[in-house]
Amino acid sequence: MKPTMIRPVKGRAGLAAVVAGCVALLSVVVLTGAGNPTSGLKFTQSGHWIYNSSIGRVFHLDSATKAIDAQVPLSTGEEGAQAVQTDTDVYVLSKSRIDKFGKSDLTVAEPIEVPVNEQPVGVEAAGAVFAVYQQSGHVVRLGERRTTAFLGGALSDPVATSDGTLWVHRVGPGELCQLPPTADRMSCPASAPQGHKGGLVAIGDKAVFVDLTAQKVYDLSSGGLDDRSDLGELAVPDSALVAGNDVDGRIALVDRDKGQVHLVSLPERPGAKPAAPTTTKIPQGKYDRVASSGHGLALLNRQDSDLVTLDRDGKVHQQKIDNEHQTPGRRQEPRLIRGDDAQVYVESGKGDRVVVVDGQGRTEPVPVGGKTSDDPITPPKPKTTPSNTPRPPEHTPVPPPKTTPPETEKPEKKDPPETDRPSTPVKPGNDRPGNDKPERQDPPKSKPPVKPAVPKATVPGAPTGVTARAYPEGPLVKWSGAAPHGAPITGYQLLWTGGSRTVSASARSATVADLAGKSGYYVSVRAVNRIGYGPATRSNQVKGSYAAAESPREIVVSKDGTPGELTLAWDRPTMGDGTFLRYAVSLGSATAAPRVNVTGTEATIKGLTTGRTYTFYVRAITRAPDGQQLQGKYTSLSAAPVGAPERTKRVVASRGAGTSYENCEPPACAFIQVRIENLRPNTNYKIVPHVEGWEPFNEGATLRTSSEGHLLVDDRFPCSGVGRLVWATVTGPEGTYTSNKFTWKSG
């Protein structure tokens, strides 16, 4: 479908609502913005929700009493699911679905479709909830201001500041990206040097980036990266762990090689020398997670499933994290979670046990879903149930008296014959002279109508019209809705050999992206309601194809000035399912024989005519697992060799950060990024994006170059034209420049 005209949209201010719950769930009010009334009222959620996958229930742990005080049946959650909470709702994050129920009535709503089949990391902050898919680069903010962003590629551990701003680090390109609470999309205002290792730390409502490679700490803001301090003489290896939150204002670094924890103070002003760090020895082990509880620290040792903690006094404690229910032959790893209340919760792999690490670093284990008393725990009723014996109300409500219909004036008419008069029993006083009116009678009571019998709800019917069609990213399955049979349909499940996926009740298509191998597959679809699953309908057979490499990114003329030759450079693309062999550079046509073959991301083409414009096509060649060679999608660029060195004028188009807007949705949707170099300085240019087959795509924007003739446009033109050629034109006083052309890819 051709998209509608898309223009940039400004963020809208949000308003948080507070809903009373049916269980005693405490929220701590946090005002942000130093008295600014527009900065909003945020709620830090107390307590913790845990999903016990062995029995299919979600439990609420009261952080003050360390007792389980509520539970909700949820059979659809998956093993390893994480529960997170906002002011009003609880979300259970599974690999293939997100379940939701309200705190006020504990009613499970329809599931939320996930952007990718991957177990996300849940983050809570100031009443906000995020699901971060670290492998694929998706970020979902849940709740009233729900939004989805696609950054692409691996993300490091996310952090959230006290005002509800999420920060992530794109590991490959080094970009540092944020999603403020009032923003509708993510932005990447700063970048760490590419290839540098490090971690993000939230310190109150601010965030810093610890560059372990450079041994530096940088302040982060919407304006970019500012040098704060260095790590002094600490010399921490770049394999160290960085706690995502401060410990009493200090940064916690874990040197796994030496078994040491360093607490590093930050200077009061940038550039000043920090105080000497505090170093504590911890048991040797395989540590991969660390979290701060404010004054204490918790670490997970995967080697022995041990929890190692440092309390406020710097003392080291150690204890086992066990499961009461283990799946035979499969080890369930514990999980370390920092809650919105700043306490750390260490869940067993099945969610049947949790250790609470409080703000001082003290620990307390709590069984979840086991027998903790003689009386079994039952789900709470929808209405509030007091924990103590309730007092009677001061005023007992009295039901209203029965009333008869009001009298209406009737037209005067003659008295009926005596035989027709209603028979009125005589009561005392009715036989007095002058009392000739009979006493009014209540109208006769009518029998209530007989309600028709309601058919008993059963499982849904079978979906119809199930078809599957092969695409490089996986088969696209379509179907028509099933009959609900007396109970609303809550979702559709797709099943195939070796896997399954559940989508929402409104979905009528889905892509199966994780088929094993490329053999023939059938995909079956079935509906589910509160009664259960209905019969499945099988699709036609579909055979997956190996994905070729995507278009090389950022192709530019990297070297010119030599008569008769040009040097091109580009960024390595995603290689799809194949193993990289080489890059092929052709002239004049995308189907022409390669003029040059190279294995690096730069090629020099000789034998050209100086001053003549050529169109170059660059693609990656890969080898599929079955041995066949795959021709990648090309990127094209028109350029002419010049006889003398000069500043190369560049207009480069590429796929930018993922986004969403109207009918432009992830993972296909992202910004068209246009980079301009060495044009006229301080000059207005009209930038227009183009999509093959969707013209006119966007009216474009007129923007001004810098004093050096540079301009970067990376947040104006959303696009979802998967498989279509995309490019940009830039028009100014000297004429029109055309960028490279490349094939748009999904996420």
473-497, pLDDT tens digit by residue?
A: 678 899 999 999 999 999 999 988 7
Cα angle 152-158-162, degrees, rounded to a multiple of 5: 135
Q: Which residue has the higher pLDDT, 667 or 304?
A: 667
* DSSP one-letter code for 37: G
Q: Which of 547-556, 655-664, 723-732 has the highest mean pLDDT?
A: 723-732
Q: Which of 108-112, 230-234, 266-270 has the highest mean pLDDT?
A: 108-112
198: amino acid identity, one letter: G
Mean pLDDT across the chain: 80
Residue range 36-367, CATH number: 2.130.10.10
Instruction: Pull the structure tokens for residue 109.
Output: 């709503």
Q: Summarize pLDDT for 601-620 with one digit per residue, the tens.
A: 999 999 999 989 899 999 99
Q: What percent of the chain has pLDDT over 70?
A: 79
Residue 241's pLDDT band (boundaries 50, 70, 90)?
very high
**What CATH architecture does domain 649-747 belong to?**
Sandwich (2.60)
Any residues with CB less than 8 A from the CB of 170 and at least 6 apart, and which?
137, 151, 152, 153, 154, 155, 176, 177, 188
Any residues with CB less than 8 A from the CB of 598 and at least 6 apart, and which?
582, 583, 585
Q: Which residue has the higher pLDDT, 568 or 518?
A: 568
Same CATH fold assignment for domains 36-367 and 546-644: no
Residue range 464-543, CATH number: 2.60.40.10
**What DSSP letter does each residue of 134-195 carry, written as one string?**
TTTTEEEEESTT-EEEE--S-B---EE-TTS-EEEEBTTT-EEEEE-TT-SS-EEEEEPPTT
**What CATH architecture does domain 546-644 belong to?**
Sandwich (2.60)
Ranges 357-361, 423-427, 573-577, 641-645: which has the least confidence: 423-427
Residue range 722-743: mean pLDDT, rounded: 92
Ranges 12-16, 164-168, 645-649, 653-657: which has the least confidence: 12-16
Cα angle 104-109-115, degrees, rounded to a multiple of 5: 125
Which residues share a beta bridge with 149? 139
- Length of the chain in residues, anyone? 747
Q: What is the pLDDT of residue 474?
A: 76
Is the pLDDT at 18 greater than 50? The verdict is: no
Q: What is the pLDDT of residue 516?
A: 55
Is the pLDDT at 350 greater than 50? The verdict is: yes
Residue 228's pLDDT band (boundaries 50, 70, 90)?
confident
Model confidence pTM above 0.75 = no
Q: What is the pLDDT of residue 69?
A: 86
Domain boundaries, the chain: 36-367, 464-543, 546-644, 649-747
Ranges 77-86, 298-307, 330-339: which has the least confidence: 330-339
Residue range 272-298: mean pLDDT, rounded: 88
Q: What is the pLDDT of residue 449?
A: 62
Which residues share a beta bridge with 338? 344
Residue range 248-271: mean pLDDT, rounded: 88
Residue range 563-568: mean pLDDT, rounded: 90
Q: Summarize pLDDT for 672-701 with one digit per residue, the tens.
A: 999 998 899 999 999 999 999 898 899 999
Q: Summarize pLDDT for 421-453 with one digit per residue, the tens.
A: 444 444 444 444 444 444 455 555 555 665 556
Q: What is the pLDDT of residue 448?
A: 61
Note whether 329 and 316 are within 8 A (CB): no
Tell me the C-alpha distance between 537 and 495, whole Å.
10
Residue 37, phi then psi, degrees to nearest 5: -70, -15
Residue 480, phi then psi, degrees to nearest 5: -105, 155
Q: Summarize pLDDT for 171-199 with one digit per residue, the tens.
A: 988 999 999 988 888 889 888 888 899 99
Residue range 505-512: mean pLDDT, rounded: 90
Tell me the C-alpha distance between 677 and 255, whole Å.
43
Q: Summarize pLDDT for 19-30 with one digit per residue, the tens.
A: 333 333 433 333
Q: What is the pLDDT of residue 499?
A: 78
Any residues with CB less than 8 A from the CB of 217 and at least 6 apart, and which?
208, 209, 210, 211, 228, 229, 230, 231, 251, 264, 266
